[in-house]
Amino acid sequence: MHDYDLLVVGSANADLVIGVERRPGPGETVLGSDLAVHPGGKGANQAVAAARLGARTALLARVGDDDHGRLLLDSLRTAGADTSGMLTGGAPTGVALITVDPSGDNSIVVSPGANARLTPEDVRAAAPLLAAARVVSLQLEIPLETVAEVVRAAAAGAEGRPGPRVVLNPSPAAPLPDGVLAVCDPLVVNEHEARFLLDGDPAGGSAEPAEWAAALLARGPRSVVVTLGEQGALVAEGGRTVLVDSLPVKAVDTTGAGDAFTGALAWRLGVGDGLEAAVRFAVRVGAAAVTRAGAQQSFPTAEDVARL
């Protein structure tokens, strides 16, 4: 029996958000709305999304000893996520500068702060947390060597038991070692991340998500999920590719919707769903998340998802 359906290892950021009529081009200044400060970060977002849906989930992350860090801890606790793996200090809490335009699209610049100080040693010290989880979910706003340490520990297992199943969303996109790719089950990518990872591969120039998925699978992951925004998501595993449709919703703000999708997906895998069933649930969660402003405060409960 595991204590957690899902352990998320990743980032926690304060999101500094400004609404704009139009996102600025190079060298350009535009005026925007009042500043809003929200809890965010791809790791914390996934943990909050899963917890709000009812998951037994924990987050291993590092925040600063500051107001932003306290904002993040409050949000995690309010959602029902376990914060026993949260580490404090070493640098200020990570910050994301976000502009959102009227179509709901955003641009994000992240200053990693304390996220960059989440070390492989921190992962080793959290071995009991890892051993207690059915699934571990990762992103790339923490050092790659820390991600690789989680993957190593998950692949090794502990005390004769297999380690957790690994879900990885390589965002922001970065080159991945073969050893990391090989354990992903699934690798979750959007179009940008798929094309980045396929740089130099003819499939990366294709307009067909099924070709990206096939080419990515050939790199070693056990399964691949390609998120396609309002078109839904493509699931590729075991020689089978399935397109899962999304729901028609009016997008207000897409910030964090991908994290809500991946957190929900990873949770459903942790409670025993197959990959396609987990994606069918996760696209509904992602759709609900775009209908409200912000990241964590936009994430639905299980009742919200049932009502969609």
Closest CA to 85 of 59, 118, 57: 59
Choosing from 96, 135, 264, 282, the residue that interacts with ligand RIB (CB under 6 A) is: 96
Residue 116 in contact with ligand RIB, rule: CB under 6 A: no
Are 96 and 16 within 8 A, CB to CB?
A: yes
Structure tokens at 32: 């925007």
DSSP letters spanning 258-299: HHHHHHHHHHHHHTT--HHHHHHHHHHHHHHHTTSSSSGGGP
Catalytic pick from 5, 15, 122, 259? 259
Q: Which is nearer to ligand RIB, 111 or 206 (CB)?
A: 111
Residue 17 in contact with ligand RIB, rule: CB under 6 A: no
Q: Which is nearer to ligand RIB, 61 or 110 (CB)?
A: 110
Residue 227 in contact with ligand RIB, rule: CB under 6 A: no
Tell me, residue by residue from 117 to 156, as one string, x for binding to ligand RIB by CB under 6 A and - for no binding: ------------------------x---------------
The DSSP element (H or E) to which 219 belongs, if any, is none
Interface stretch with ligand RIB, choices 184-192, 210-218, 255-263, 268-276 (CB under 6 A):
255-263
User: How far is Cα 96 from Cα 37, in angstroms, rounded to an integer?
Assistant: 10
Residue 13 in contact with ligand RIB, rule: CB under 6 A: yes
Query: How far out from the chain centre does Cα 254 lie?
Result: 13
Segment 166-195, which members bind ligand RIB (CB under 6 A)? Answer: none
Choosing from 41, 64, 186, 300, the residue that interacts with ligand RIB (CB under 6 A) is: 41
Choosing from 4, 42, 136, 153, the residue that interacts with ligand RIB (CB under 6 A) is: 42
- The beta-strand segments (E) located in the chain are 4-9, 13-19, 36-40, 57-63, 86-88, 94-100, 106-111, 133-138, 165-168, 184-189, 223-227, 233-237, 240-244
Single-letter residue type at 281: F
Q: Which is nearer to ligand RIB, 11 or 223 (CB)?
A: 11
Q: Is 273 a known active-site residue?
A: no
Are 238 and 244 within 8 A, CB to CB?
A: no
Structure tokens at 259: 């994290």
The size of the interface with ligand RIB (CB under 6 A), counted in residues, is: 16
Q: Which is nearer to ligand RIB, 33 or 274 (CB)?
A: 33
- The residue with its CB nearest to ligand RIB is 40
Closest CA to 183 of 229, 151, 161: 151
Choosing from 255, 262, 291, 298, the residue that interacts with ligand RIB (CB under 6 A) is: 255
Q: Which is nearer to ligand RIB, 13 or 246 (CB)?
A: 13
Residue 112 in contact with ligand RIB, rule: CB under 6 A: no
The helix-helix angle for 257-270 and 42-53 (nearest 10°) equals: 50
Are 127 and 153 within 8 A, CB to CB?
A: yes
Footprint of ligand RIB on this chain (CB under 6 A)?
Answer: 11, 13, 15, 40-42, 45, 96, 108, 110, 141, 255-256, 258-259, 295
Catalytic positions are: 259
